Amino acid sequence: MTKRYELFANAEAMLIDNAFVIPYNVSGGDGYVASQVHPFETPYSAFGISSNRWKGQRLLAKPLNTEEFNAAQTEWQAARDAAIKDAAK
């Protein structure tokens, strides 16, 4: 049984280290999620289930690594800030 736990720990560490999963929220009982859906192409809203819509989403050839995720998040945040600024005019 110890060997099994060691193997699971090694697999989990590899997924986390390569940012295939990002353990930021496990309160829903889903646990970790590895996905090939681009995380910043989902519809956005501050609340509700908008991010669960599949329309317009595309699959990535491979999951994002940490650097790719951070770059995409920075680009998404900049576009969001610009849209908010334009909407306030």
User: Domain-by-domain residue ranges, the chain?
Assistant: 1-33, 35-89
Q: Cα angle at 66 between 64 and 72, to 5 degrees?
A: 65
Q: What is the pTM of this model?
A: 0.56
pLDDT in tens, 17-60: 876 655 555 555 555 566 788 888 877 777 777 767 777 788 88
